[in-house]
Amino acid sequence: MAELPGVGLITGAGSGIGQATALAFVRAGCTRLSLADLNAQGLENTRHQIAEISSEAQINLAAGDVTSVEFVDRLVDATVAQFGRLDYAVNAAGIIGPWANSQELKLEDADRVMDVNYRGTFLCARAEVRAMLKNEPTGPDDIPGQRGAIVHIASGLAFVGRQGAPAYCASKGAVVQLARADALDYSKDGIRINCVCPGLTETPLGTNNNDPATLKALEPVLALHPLGRWGKPREIADAAVFLCSMRASFIQGHALAVDGGHLAA
């Protein structure tokens, strides 16, 4: 039996952690998948990589902005129209914004970080829950069935601060609290909502496209990761697969650090 036999939706699927999650979903047996991102070219690249893993996967690509109510509602409606239901969602779309303290950060940049990271996740979660509420609960005979599972890709910076990232830290704290509150509201409906909180991860966002100055500036942060290295996107993706699967059937409202020990230090 596939780990993820149902229908999935992943945002931010054109790059980094979202893209790795799309590939991990297909490896876990999810063959009906909606992928969303601002970057249409990135989505095509993900589709191409999926085709190398599975010839059976049916992929719906949606290029658009998760801060738009219309885009998000259309994305979820199109997923249900094409595949009949929605079982798992991973909300990975996110931005870090310019590095600046609160005095220097432009208000429009701070607002955009909150809009993409918090508002975008909120809009996706509420549309995803709306679709999942229509499912009949399913699962193994000895465990109460679930209607759906949602994972937000938050950050260790929901729990510890980072210089020069006030809006980003605030937005990720908001995402974790959103997941906790939604978990309380939708437990009775059999919908699980959790977060994965990555540490430094080798993606265009994490490394600023391998910019040497960024990598140098992050050396002290890397030193706070006891495993002493950057995470790979697929190591974050595997945690998202786990939390969506029935192996995590009793995990609810949790923020799982996948960070080489950063938060333990």
Ligand X SMILES: NC(=O)c1ccc[n+]([C@@H]2O[C@H](COP(=O)([O-])OP(=O)(O)OC[C@H]3O[C@@H](n4cnc5c(N)ncnc54)[C@H](O)[C@@H]3O)[C@@H](O)[C@H]2O)c1
Question: What are the residue numbers of the active site?
Answer: 168, 172
How far is it, in rounded angstroms, from Cα 162 to Cα 172? 12
How far is it, in rounded angstroms, from Cα 265 to Cα 261? 6
Question: Measured from the CB atom, is 146 or 201 closer to ligand X?
Answer: 201
Question: Measured from the CB atom, is 120 or 190 closer to ligand X?
Answer: 120
Question: Measured from the CB atom, is 71 or 83 closer to ligand X?
Answer: 71
Binding site for ligand X (CB under 6 A): 11-12, 14-18, 37-39, 42, 65-67, 92-95, 116, 120, 153, 155, 198, 200-201, 203-206
> Least distance from C-beta 169 to ligand X, angstroms?
11
Burial class from Cβ neighbours inside 10 Å (0-12, 13-18, 19+) for residue 20 reads buried
> Least distance from C-beta 36 to ligand X, angstroms?
6
**Exposure on the CB side of residue 4, measured as CA atoms within 13 A:** 33
How far is it, in rounded angstroms, from Cα 55 to Cα 264? 41
DSSP lists the bridge partners of residue 217 as none
Please state whether beta strands 58-63 and 191-198 pair in parallel, antiparallel, or not at all (unpaired): unpaired
Nearest to 203 by CA among 119, 43, 94, 104: 94
Question: Measured from the CB atom, is 42 or 260 closer to ligand X?
Answer: 42
> Least distance from C-beta 258 to ligand X, angstroms?
9
Burial class from Cβ neighbours inside 10 Å (0-12, 13-18, 19+) for residue 121 reads buried
> Least distance from C-beta 199 to ligand X, angstroms?
6
